[in-house]
Amino acid sequence: MKNILVMATGGTIASLPHKDGLAPGLTGEELVERVPLIDSLCHIDVVQPMNIDSTNMRPRDWMQIADGLARHYDDYDGFVVLHGTDTMAYTAAALSYLLQGGSKPIVLTGSQQPMAAPFTDAKLNLYQSLLVATDDAARDVCVVFGGKVIAGTRAHKQRTMSYNAFVSMNFPTLAYVRGDRVLWSGGRPPREKDLPWHRFRAMNDRVIVLRLTPEFRPQIFSLLKDDYDAIILETFGIGGIPDYDGNAFRRAIFDWVDSGRTLVLTTQVPEEGLDLGVYEVGRAYSNHPGILKGADMSTEALVAKTMWALGQSKDPNRVRELFLRPVNHDRSEP
């Protein structure tokens, strides 16, 4: 039998009712004890670095989770991280960048209903995550939820209450869990290329996401200079940025990147990605130095990857190289 480490971090799956609402209360050991039949799957050890609502999950917590996984990497065949659903996609993406290469699966899961609820999805999600973590074909960071296996950089929480909460953004679902079987789409899950196991130890959390809306004021770019090193800008449609008021946006954006800061352009439309070359309102930004294109990446992955890339280097050319390098299926090139 394989040896699996379960890392509990809190979230809805561990929550109990309190006078002010649900809050994490069950330990990792208590969660594992409540799932039948898992003793027949693998040997399980449990660690608990934190027990928090995932709304409170921050980059420093991502680092703590990555540290724990790296410390035990040689001791186990696979890993399951129990996590709240609200920020699970961010953590899955961050771990994809912080822990690269190797051949062992790191599976994130949680639930829409607490483990203690009478009609919870927690038991099945945890059981299926262990199935995936013990599967010989599994590797890399992934999210297992509602019978789906999703690449860690492609997960997105689409629904707030339904049990099929997560979707795979702009990339095929890696596998489906049916009964006690993991059915991989197209056979063994692909990887861009085999890389040696590596733990990255730095992230720059001075990254913010802005979403364009009608009458958005471009002056905000200058106001953010003291607190942020990178902006991820969610444009209209396939890459539209307003060009009214004497090209005020163009001046503000070029001033931002020309000052040595990073700008990542993406789209606020969930599916199919960005292409700055289609419309005049986007083409002006397609080749300006310091502007990075998010392609079909999710916003969650863009946040984590920008923090990771800026954590490795301050050189704009090196940041661009790292940002454009595919990691765990995070981007598709045109």
SS (H, E, C) 235-285: EECCCECCCHHHHHHHHHHHHHHHCCCEEEEEECCCCCCCCCCCCHHHHCC
Question: Cβ distance 54 to 86 under 8 Å?
Answer: yes
Given the structure tokens 């690269």, which residue do they identify?
A: 100
How many Å apart are CA 32 and CA 145, to the nearest integer?
17
Given the structure tokens 């352009």, which residue do they identify?
A: 265
Given the structure tokens 């960048």, which residue do they identify?
A: 97
SS (H, E, C) 70-121: HHCHHHCCEEEEECCCCCHHHHHHHHHHHEECCCCEEEEECCCCCCCCCCCC
20 is in an annotated binding site: no
> Is residue 298 classed exposed, middle or buried when 0-12, 13-18 and 19+ CB atoms within 10 A define those classes?
buried
- SS3 assignment, position 290: coil
262 is in an annotated binding site: no
Query: Which residues are marked as active site?
Result: 12, 85
CA 333, distance to chain mean position in Å, is 19
160 is in an annotated binding site: no
Q: Which residues are annotated as a binding site for substrate?
A: 54, 85-86
